[in-house]
Structure 1
Amino acid sequence: MTFTEIAETFAQAPSGTDGFKAFGRSALQLMKTDPENAALYFVVGIAAQAYVFKYEDQGVDPELADKAKDTLVEFNQRLLSALSKGPAERLSAANSVAIDYEWNVREF
């Protein structure tokens, strides 16, 4: 699968932890087949895993789940846009997503 396919599948999936788990696993697997873009896949794969670790064994308010999913979908869109650009732009996109995730995301 390509990152485009993985991102689209996640965007269409329900907002539960199963979707985050499948997305995270698939994104991290892409690191093996597309090592040139591993940083992009790693940052969103780890974010998805963090959501699963935090919420897998508990009920999640649907509003929070939807907001978390929307955040990851937005991150994916930024990375998808960067994939068609040069190495510096791809690295910048990965850095930007990592910074936003670490300092601005509170849901997961």
Structure 2
Amino acid sequence: MTFSTVLNKFASSLPGTDTYVKLRQSMQTLIQEDPNNASVYFLVFGFARTYVMLYEDQEVSPQFAEDNQKLMLSYLHILDEALQKGDAASLYHALNRVVNEYENSKKVF
């Protein structure tokens, strides 16, 4: 399993908490399989976990679910690009970019 594979599965899945459960599980697997990049996977794991905790027992509008899936995808793309470059500086900058974008967002997960 690679981060890119997980990203593609997430992108092609229906928006909803089940998709975030799978994302969370995939991140747990990647933490074990690729400990050198565990901080990336743990960040995404935390986002997915929070989304499930907040919304699994709530009805959300399809638009809300789609908007949040797009937001998560934007973060995943930033991180995937850095992982593919394979250098620590790119990864560090990508992590900071995602955290800063998240901090300036509505923080839905």
**Bin for the TM-score computed over the shorter chain:** over 0.9
Runs (5+) with no aligned partner, structure 2: none
Corresponding residue for 2:108?
Answer: 107
Moved >3 Å (runs of 4+): none
Matches within 5 A, 1:65-76: 65-76=65-76
TM-score (norm 2): 0.91
Q: Counterpart of 1:64? A: 64
**C-alpha separation between the residues in 2 aligned to 1:22 and 1:57?**
17
Structure 2 vs 1, CA of residues 105 and 41 (structure 1 numbering), >3 Å: closer, same or farther?
A: farther
Q: Paired residue for 1:21?
A: 21
1:9 CA drift (Å): 0.4
> Hey, what does 2:49 align to over in structure 1?
49
Residue identity matched to 1:98 = V
**Offset from partner CA, 1:53-90 (integer Å, 9 cap, x none):** 00001111111111110001111110110012211110
Instruction: Give the CA deviation at 1:96.
Output: 1.5
Displacement after TM superposition at 1:29 (Å): 2.0
Tell whether the 8 Å contact from 1:31 to 1:38 is kept in structure 2 after alignment.
yes
Structure 1: how far apart are the matches of 2:101 and 2:44? 11
Superposition map of 1:24-43 within 5 A: 24-43=24-43
Q: Which runs of 5+ in 1 are unaligned?
A: none
Q: How many Å separate the matches in 1 of 2:31 and 2:62?
A: 31
Task: Tell whether the 8 Å contact from 1:40 to 1:91 is kept in structure 2 after alignment.
Answer: no
The CA distance in 2 between the partners of 1:72 and 1:97, in whole Å, is 10
